[in-house]
Amino acid sequence: MEWTVVSHWSVPTMQIMTVIRIQTTGMWSLVTVALFLALSPTGSDAAPKVQQRGAVATVHPLASEAAMRAMESGGNAIDAAVVAGLTLGVVDGFNSGIGGGCFMVIHRADGSVIALDGREKAPAAATRDMFVRDGKGDSKLSQTGALAIGVPGSLAVYEHAIRHYGKLTLRQHLLAAAEISEKGFPLTRTYVQRLESAVKELRAFDAARSIFLTADGSSLEQGFVLRQPDLARSYRVLAEQGIGWFYGGDFAIRMERWMKSNGGIATAKDFQAYDFKLREAVRTTYRGHEIVGFPPPSSGGVHVGQILNILEQFDLKTMGAGSADFVHVVTEAMKLAFADRAFWLGDPDFVPVPRGLMSKEYAAKLAKRIDLRRASPVPKHDEPDGASTDVFGKHTTHFSCADADGNWVACTATVNTTFGSKVVIPGTGIVMNNQMDDFSIQPGVANAFGLLGAEANAVAPGKRPLSSMSPTIVLKEGRPVMAVGAAGGPTIISQTLLAILHVVDFGADSSNALAQARFHHQWRPDELRVEKRLPESVRAELSRRGHRVVVTESLGAAQVVAVDEKGKFSGVADPRGEGLGLAR
């Protein structure tokens, strides 16, 4: 395996805290981990003294406890994040695991920021039209089974993060998670709901069926203690042999064998060639805060930044949180950004993605297109200055590691939709992703999240599919004050944006920010999805302004970790889910 370093840089900062926060979400499959740590309260002069050692919030109590335990036994925030990620792969495997990918942003005590790209890659034999049958893009193929699987990257990122920034070892974390896998854990209501939604497809794959379904092929029940001995064995072998087992050893060989007899194209060579990337985080400012996000192949950092830049042109505070004026202007900004996303965004190693999408000048131009009285049609994307010349680079640079006493990590991981491709490579217990569906499989054919794409996100060998995952760290006066991330496909961008707006514009605390009614517009389809909790009167006013309002029970799952001015941490799991926040 070859490692490529794309960039590394620093800004002056301090350190102080310990907060971990991990999140998984609702309908589909993803985990966001945001984690702060300050083992030593001696960072900056201005930094308030923090009493807590750390905090963590994940969608599962066992993952939160594992992360906290790692910190309490000498590990740091990176250790905690990795053990949480590995544990979530056991207790929340329908969302994420080592058969999937992740983006991890680390903000270290010395101010350096590292963005680790563990996004899946298309196998070498992938072709632009690999999902087209009889002239039509077939989403069944990109969502379920062998062809849906991209070469996973989470494990490569976890290994790199621990080796360079952790204090404990990957082996320790794997063994801790293996124990839970072996002993088992009782299934929650959410787990069973997700299982029920995937029963039909899971039945088609023997190894998955034997782990996740009863002998007669139905869903397991709430409270059932799920033991996963194969996954435990895989984690133990990894602990002994290292990640070479996965990328170049027995796992890769078994995977290739399974692929060959099931119509797949991924090979052991693809796994061996997998390279995670160190990328340069994207940054913008918003009303005195600095927003640090994940660059392409995530669209999250670019568009959260772009929408904030547009909204900076409007006085949201006077409009008021949750008002029709507020929802209207944010929606109009979302439409403009998502139209750009569909056209411009793709893997920057393959296509030129304009940096100008995040410029203040471009945002000011787009803001002028917004009519505050009515919904404006957005027929197509716009174009920032220098769109073909000033693009996200594919440069390589060296990255050095240093001790970190104060660290901050935000990581979003996923196997894509529920139980990914539904494939478990026999004997390994590892659920494989269906991230190939995040490519634009054919012009006009939407992916599982209703997203359309263009040439920039067409399938190509070795290419990474476009993502919306938006692990984000917000800084004030150079100091981290908030980490936020979400799950839920493109709504991740809206959820992350809304959490930031409620904190920055309206002064909400984390828990209040997450409790607010959410809404989402992704340009196509031309509809404004709003949560039921948005008052009827506001919905009526939005319809009057020309929005096609679609009401939904609940939208996504965002997690926020924040530190207040006194240095007190808060970690809040989305009230819509079953997550747990810990701070001690």
Rounded to an integer, what distance in angstroms lies between the CA atom of residue 26 and that of residue 486?
A: 10
Contacts of 288 (CB under 8 A, 6+ apart): 476
Element of type H or E holding 445 = none
**SS3 readout for 201-218:** HHCCCHHHHHHHECCCCC
Q: Name which of 467 and 494 has its Cβ closer to ligand DON.
A: 467
Give yes or no for a contact between 421 and 123, defined as CB atoms under 8 angstroms apart.
Answer: no
Rounded to an integer, what distance in angstroms lies between the CA atom of residue 277 and that of residue 298?
A: 13
Q: Name which of 39 and 307 has its Cβ closer to ligand DON.
A: 307
CB of residue 467 vs ligand DON: minimum separation in angstroms? 3
CB of residue 26 vs ligand DON: minimum separation in angstroms? 6
Give yes or no for a contact between 567 and 16, defined as CB atoms under 8 angstroms apart.
Answer: yes
Secondary structure (3-state) at 407: strand
- Please say if 42 is a catalytic residue: no
Q: Name which of 43 and 152 has its Cβ closer to ligand DON.
A: 152
CB of residue 577 vs ligand DON: minimum separation in angstroms? 11
Q: Is 395 exposed, middle or buried (0-12, 13-18, 19+ CB in 10 A)?
A: exposed
Contacts of 540 (CB under 8 A, 6+ apart): none
CB of residue 338 vs ligand DON: minimum separation in angstroms? 13
Orientation of helix 324-344 relative to helix 536-544, angle to 10°? 60
Q: Name which of 110 and 437 has its Cβ closer to ligand DON.
A: 437
CB of residue 388 vs ligand DON: minimum separation in angstroms? 26
CB of residue 273 vs ligand DON: minimum separation in angstroms? 21
Q: Name which of 25 and 331 has its Cβ closer to ligand DON.
A: 25
Task: Output the six-digit token pair for 438.
Answer: 């995040």
Give yes or no for a contact between 499 and 518, defined as CB atoms under 8 angstroms apart.
Answer: no
Element of type H or E holding 509 = none
Give yes or no for a contact between 485 and 412, defined as CB atoms under 8 angstroms apart.
Answer: yes
CB of residue 16 vs ligand DON: minimum separation in angstroms? 31
Q: Name which of 428 and 468 has its Cβ closer to ligand DON.
A: 468
Expressed in percent and rounded to 5, the helix, strand and coil fractions of the chain are 35, 20, 45
Rounded to an integer, what distance in angstroms lies between the CA atom of residue 19 and that of residue 2?
A: 32
Question: Around 574, how many Cα atoms within 13 Å sit in the side-chain half-sphere?
Answer: 29
Q: Name which of 279 and 545 has its Cβ closer to ligand DON.
A: 279
CB of residue 70 vs ligand DON: minimum separation in angstroms? 25
> What CA–CA distances, in Å, run from 316 to 182, 319, 534, 543, 560?
51, 5, 17, 20, 21
Q: Name which of 62 and 469 has its Cβ closer to ligand DON.
A: 469
Element of type H or E holding 310 = helix 300-311
Q: What are phi and psi of 90, to 5 degrees?
A: -90, -50
Q: Name which of 220 and 492 has its Cβ closer to ligand DON.
A: 492
Place of tokens 């509809």: 527
Rounded to an integer, what distance in angstroms lies between the CA atom of residue 472 and that of residue 136?
A: 37
In 352-414, at which residue ranges do the beta strands (DSSP E only) sit? 406-414
Element of type H or E holding 115 = strand 113-118
CB of residue 456 vs ligand DON: minimum separation in angstroms? 15
Q: Is 10 exposed, middle or buried (0-12, 13-18, 19+ CB in 10 A)?
A: exposed
Q: Which of 169, 396, 397, 491 is catalytic?
A: 396
CB of residue 378 vs ligand DON: minimum separation in angstroms? 21
CB of residue 471 vs ligand DON: minimum separation in angstroms? 11
Q: Name which of 6 and 451 has its Cβ closer to ligand DON.
A: 451
Residues forming the site for ligand DON (CB under 6 A): 25-30, 414, 416, 438, 467-469, 487-489, 492
Q: Quick one: DSSP state of residue 355?
A: G
Amino acid, res. 373: R
CA-wise closest residue to 89 among 26, 180, 19:
180
Q: Name which of 181 and 412 has its Cβ closer to ligand DON.
A: 412
> What CA–CA distances, in Å, run from 301 to 9, 117, 305?
17, 13, 6
Task: Output the six-digit token pair for 373.
Answer: 């009285």
In 227-325, at which residue ranges do the beta strands (DSSP E only) sit? 277-279, 282-286, 289-293
Active site residues: 396
